[in-house]
Amino acid sequence: MKFQAFKNLCAALVLSSSAVVTMPALAHGAAPARHGGVVQTASDMSFELVPAADGAALYVVDHDDDYDVKQMGGKLTVLNGAEKSEAELKPVGGNKLEAKGVKLGKGAKVVAAVTEGRKTTTVRFTVK
């Protein structure tokens, strides 16, 4: 009887110590804002939406490295209260896509549908 209790105690100690030793799983998470915008993560990439005087810029980062967007495009949809506007996202160099003719007001809801080849990634933002 004492031997069975000893085995149970050893098993409990091994299980509890293995839970302490294992490393927690860490998610990639969103990259910090580099351009003063709002950052969201989708498809293991970070997207930073930045208001501009004549529209908006969308910067793309993949694991802390700028992502070449020359093969990307898409559409930006902005909801400012009851007002809806849309603009085409076009690459302008480096990791930056631009959408002209939209206004990003405080509290606006924005959906970016970013395409690369046949793959479409949808990213949702709320402008602060």
Q: How confident is the model at residue 6 (pLDDT cuts 50, 70, 90)?
A: low
Architecture of the 38-126 domain: Sandwich (2.60)
| pLDDT score for 3 | 62
Element (H, E) at 103: none
Q: What are phi and psi of 117, to 5 degrees?
A: 65, -125
Q: What is d(CA 18, CA 9) in angstroms, rounded to the nearest whole number?
A: 14
pLDDT at 14 over 80: no
Q: For the segment 25-73, what is each residue's pLDDT rounded down to a tens digit?
A: 445 566 688 999 999 999 999 999 999 999 999 999 999 899 999 999 9
Q: For the segment 73-118, what is each residue's pLDDT rounded down to a tens digit?
A: 999 999 998 999 999 999 999 999 999 999 999 999 999 999 999 9
pLDDT at 24 over 50: no
Least Cα distance to 44 among 21, 67, 62, 19 occurs for 62
E-state strands within 1-128 = 38-42, 45-52, 55-62, 65-66, 72-80, 83-93, 96-100, 109-116, 119-126
DSSP-derived 3-state class of residue 91: strand
| pLDDT score for 32 | 82
DSSP 30: P
For the chain, domain boundaries: 38-126
Least Cα distance to 43 among 72, 21, 15, 20 occurs for 72
